[in-house]
Structures are given as C-alpha cells and as structure tokens.
Amino acid sequence: MDRTVSCLVSLALVLLTTAALAAPPPAVTPALLAQGKALYEKQCAVCHGTEGKGNGPAADFLFPKPRDFTSGVFKLRSTPLGEPPTDADLFRTLTRGLPGSAMPGFAFLSETERWALVAYVKQLASIKVPPEEVVAIPPETPATLASIERGRKIYFEAGCDQCHGPEGRGDGPQAKELEDDWGTPIFPANLPLARFKGGGTPQDLYRTLATGVDGTPMPAVEGLPPEQIWDLVHYVRYLTGGKIVKQPDGTAMLEAKRLQGPLPAQPLDPRWETVPATTIPLMDLWQFPDKPLEAVTVRAAHDGASLVLLLTWKDYSAAPDALRHQDFADGAAVQWSLTPEPPHFTMGEPGHPVNIWFWRYDFQRDLAEHQDLEHVYPGMAVDWYPYQRAKAGVVGPTGRAGSHVYHRLGGRQPDVPGLSPQCGAGPQRYALWLPHGAAAVPAGCLRNGHLGRRRVAGGLSPQPAHRGQKRHAAHPWHHGASGVCHL
C-alpha cells in the first residue's frame, strides 16, 4: 500500500476570513511586547533592521525596499492618507504578506504571535494613539458590463493611464519618472498581473483606491461617490481577468508519496503522474514590472530512504548559459534546516546552518561539455599577454598569472553537439533528489519550507520565466553528482 509523508511547505495560499481580521487584539502588556520583540528579531530584523529602519542585512538585495517603521509611514491602511494604520491593517499585512515584494505572509505564526508583532511594530513606529477615522467599504455594486465601461471612462478621466498606461500594464508616460517619498524609483502596478500589495479582492481594491498608498505617488481617489469607485474596481478586475495573486505564507501542505521500486530518476518518468502535485506561490526578491514567475509546482516521492522532488514552472524562453554578464541561467534551490529549531528562510542564521540543494541548467549542461565564452562568441580572437598565460599552463616572464583578454569579432550562435539550438523551448524537466548516503530525511512536517522539525526554509527559487513549462527534478550538486537534462 502506498503511504504518504505529510509536509508543510513555506510557500502557500491562505484566504483570510473577515472574522479572522475582526478578532480583537489582546491587551498590550510588557510580556506581549517582549514576545513581539523576540519574534521581530527572528523573523523581521534581517530585512527591516534591528531598530526597524529598513536597513537589515538583506535590504540591499531587495526591491521594493523594506519599510522603515520609524518613519511612521505605512502604505497599506484603511485610514486616510497620512494617518497611521489600524491594528487590523497591520495584522492583515502580517498575515497575508505583500504580493510583488519580498514580504511573505506569516500565517504560520499563531494569532497571538502575530498580534505581538503588531504591538512591537507599533512601538517601533511610535504609534500611540488610534487613528481618528477609518474609511468604510460599502456593499459592492453589481459587476456588470455597463459598470466596467463606466469604470474604464473613469480610469482615463482620473488620469490613471498616465502611470498605469492605456491597458494598465504600468507603462504610462510618467511611469519611468516615479519615485517614492524616500527618492527610490518605483514601478506603477502592472494591473493585468494582479500583484496588488494591498490584496486583490474587490474589497481590497476599493480600500486601496479610497485611501491611496502612502509614501508613493499613488493618491486616493477624491470626489468620487462610492458607486463610481466600485465601477473603477470592476474595470481593474476586468483587466486582471478576475485573478487574485497571493503571497507565500508558510501554510501549504506537500505530500511525499511512497513509491515501490526504484524512484524516478528521469523527469519524464510516467510514474510522476501518480504523485500528487502542489502549486507553491513564489515571491519576488527583486521586482520586475512585467513577466514575473508566479508559482512552481512540486511533486515529492520517497522509498523510505531517499527523497526525490520534481519542480515544474512555465517558461518557453531559451535557457542561457549565463556566461555573459547580461544572462541568467535557469536555476532552483531547496533549503533544509540542519537543526531541530528551524532558522530563518534567508539561508539560515548564526548557529543555525542550512543545507541547500542548488540546481542550474548551465551546470547540468557542463556535465556533457564544458561551456565557455568560446561557445557564445565562436569567432572571437584571444590576445595573450606575457603575464596572463596561467590558463594555458604558462607563467609569463614576470612570474605573474592572469586571465585572457577577449575580443569579439562576430559570428553566429554556436551549435551545441547533442542539443537542439531550441533546447530552451517547450516543456522541460530536470531532477533533484536525495540518494542513499545523503542526509536522512525524517518523517514529519515540512512547514515554511522546513522538513520534519528540520524544515526546508525558503524553498524554491527558479529564475524569472515567462511561457511554457520547465520541470526540474533536482540533484544535490556535491562532489560532481551527475544530473539529467531531458527535453
């Protein structure tokens, strides 16, 4: 009989109910603030900084930048522009995260823990008095074709197209000139992608339109009655096709199915079709205005001793070798905790190391034939200088070793023996698995990417992709372990 190992993964979908957000927060006590401070230092300080100034060690690698809580400015609120958020606003943001950014959801924390974080963030922001006004969201009007057409007219009359563009793709005439209140360039939302930081439900969109996005050029709509705001909401929803994008929040469940006999070593093995698939939403570390990679599908199988994962994402673009500085190879990483108490998903923390399985397309292709710049520029000439011959096994008269200097003379893209020039197009699958002799995988829970009480933190990070499907079953790339590229 087949058996499964239940695993919780770091990237997931959760829909909060109104009742969950309406639950009253606990009383703020020294114990609650101390709990919030400890959780903040573990979960938040790596991005937001220990003092909440948005300058944590990971901040330089993120765009949009982490919020500086000490400024007291919060983008997402149910209060008028310039007013602090309510406790429920902060709780909502903590629970759901911000799609299109590196801010995940924290639904895997208990409600009490999230309220403790709310209390501590308010302390960092010096929010001591509740806001005087909360913008009410009236009942939604019918989303008819007439309402959508009225919303389209309002979209242009209100000047939304100047930033968001005539089709809402974030390419309006003012789009490249926008900055936030701190002088950082900012992209207007690409509306068809539905990556709304304040949420994508009709009520979320109404709230954002009615209150604006503080600290950014996005104003609140003024002078519009509620029914016209609903018309605008319906037009925006029409542009998205009704899609709602959610952020990873640490509550997804991945089942690793037990298979009889040898585990599949080929990504196209038909036995993968018998293994349950879980779709994992991904979050951006660096925001691009279009063509994001939204999710990866994961299948997991085991035989009691080894674990194999199959990763699939959409991409019909060719997979470059990343030899030129402007190219990025397709890749994926899975992170495993090595300690009983799982560390932060950002590659561990002091005293809590992690094991990362890392796969890259160009690494795998190198197993068949090493690729270098000569493959990208087959007609180039090489100039050798006396002190730059170390690569050829020669040390120049000065005794100094150096590198080549290349000059491209032109030429066509090289043909690679054994691979079609279109090898990056169409469905692609690659394998990642843990063979006998590697670290044992305990049964239990995989939450927030963490397996068994030794969680996989952070999880899966393929490079941005667009169309088609790429499937990756990954190998741990240690000591020259070989892999499979099956097209």
Q: Based on the domain organization, do 91 and 164 belong to the same domain? A: no
In the prediction, which pLDDT does 364 show? 85
Average pLDDT over residues 168-194: 94
| CA geometry: angle 294, 339, 445, nearest 5 deg | 55
Q: Which two tokens stand for residue 258?
A: 């037990």
Q: What is the mean pLDDT of the chain?
A: 77
Query: Treating both helix axes as pointing N-terminal to C-terminal, what angle do 226-240 and 145-157 enclose, rounded to 10 degrees?
Result: 100
Q: Based on the domain organization, do 396 and 436 belong to the same domain? A: no
Identify the domain boundary among 194, 216, 240. Answer: 240
Whether 360 has a pLDDT exceeding 50, the answer reads: yes
Residue 412 resides in a domain: no
Average pLDDT over residues 443-449: 29
Q: Based on the domain organization, do 394 and 432 belong to the same domain? A: no
The CATH number of whichever domain residue 461 belongs to comes to 2.60.40
Residue 6 resides in a domain: no
Phi and psi dihedrals of 301, rounded to 5? -140, 155
* Cα 49 from Cα 33, distance rounded (Å): 17
Residue 9 resides in a domain: no
Q: Based on the domain organization, do 334 and 424 belong to the same domain? A: yes
* Cα 76 from Cα 100, distance rounded (Å): 14
Write out pLDDT tens, residues 371-426.
887 777 787 776 655 555 454 444 433 333 333 322 222 333 333 333 322 333 33
Q: Give the range of the structural domain holding residue 431, as residue numbers without chain letter.
A: 252-370+419-486
Q: CB within 8 A of 469, min separation 6: which ones? A: 312, 313, 314, 315, 427, 428
- Out of 178-182, 185-189, 345-349, pick the least confident: 345-349
In the prediction, which pLDDT does 317 show? 72
CB 50 within 8 A of CB 87: no
* Cα 258 from Cα 271, distance rounded (Å): 12
Identify the domain boundary among 212, 240, 268. Answer: 240
Residue 29 resides in a domain: yes
Instruction: Name the band, by pLDDT with cuts 50, 70 and 90, for residue 473.
Output: very low
Instruction: Name the band, by pLDDT with cuts 50, 70 and 90, for residue 277.
Output: very high
Write out pLDDT tens, residues 75-134.
999 999 999 999 999 999 999 999 989 999 999 999 999 999 999 999 999 999 999 999
Among 18-22, 172-176, 348-352, 431-435, name the most confident range.
172-176
Average pLDDT over residues 187-197: 94
Residue 111 resides in a domain: yes
Percent of the chain surpassing pLDDT 70: 72
Q: Based on the domain organization, do 264 and 322 belong to the same domain? A: yes
In the prediction, which pLDDT does 150 show? 98
CB 246 within 8 A of CB 281: yes
Question: Could you tell me which residue, 45 or 368, shows the higher pLDDT?
Answer: 45
Query: Treating both helix axes as pointing N-terminal to C-terminal, what angle do 111-124 and 30-43 enclose, rounded to 10 degrees?
Result: 90
Domain count of the fold of the chain = 4
Q: Based on the domain organization, do 333 and 361 belong to the same domain? A: yes
Q: Based on the domain organization, do 306 and 393 belong to the same domain? A: no
CB 384 within 8 A of CB 392: yes
Q: Based on the domain organization, do 175 and 263 belong to the same domain? A: no
Q: Based on the domain organization, do 335 and 432 belong to the same domain? A: yes
In the prediction, which pLDDT does 146 show? 98
Q: Based on the domain organization, do 203 and 321 belong to the same domain? A: no
Q: Based on the domain organization, do 101 and 210 belong to the same domain? A: no
Residue 4 resides in a domain: no
Identify the domain boundary among 198, 220, 240. Answer: 240
- For the entire predicted model, the pTM comes to 0.73
Whether 159 has a pLDDT exceeding 90, the answer reads: yes
Residue 32 resides in a domain: yes
